[in-house]
């Protein structure tokens, strides 16, 4: 059976390993913040962006884009 000192030493070793991993990560700090924010509720970003992209493409390509999207998703394209 382990004694408390050995258990604490193992925890400290794991903590040192995790700190090393955090220090050597390749992801920038700003991306970590955005990632943490998106994890909570990604729909608050994805839905508005998708709507804006759709509207912009619909304005640029007109009715042809609508027919393309409907055909792509099995709708009633003309």
The whole-number pLDDT of residue 76 equals: 65
The two three-digit tokens of residue 77, written as one number? 């394209």
**Same domain? 47 vs 36:** no
Which sign, positive or negative, has the C-alpha torsion 57, 50, 27, 29?
A: positive
Q: Write out pLDDT tens, residues 6-41.
A: 999 999 999 999 888 877 777 777 777 777 777 777
The whole-number pLDDT of residue 74 equals: 81
| Cβ contact 33:43 at 8 Å | no
Domain count, the chain: 2
Q: Report the 10 Å Cβ neighbour count for 60.
A: 9
Q: DSSP characters for 65-76?
A: HHHHHHHHTT--
What is the domain extent for residue 52? 41-78
**Same domain? 5 vs 16:** yes
């Amino acid at each position: 059976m382990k004694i408390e000192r050995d258990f604490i030493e193992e925890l400290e070793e794991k903590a040192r390993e995790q700190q090393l991993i955090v220090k050597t990560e390749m992801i920038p700090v700003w991306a970590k913040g955005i990632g943490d924010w998106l994890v909570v509720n990604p729909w608050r970003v994805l839905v508005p962006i998708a709507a804006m992209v759709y509207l912009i493409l619909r304005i640029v390509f007109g009715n042809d884009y609508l027919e393309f999207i409907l055909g792509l998703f099995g709708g009633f394209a003309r």
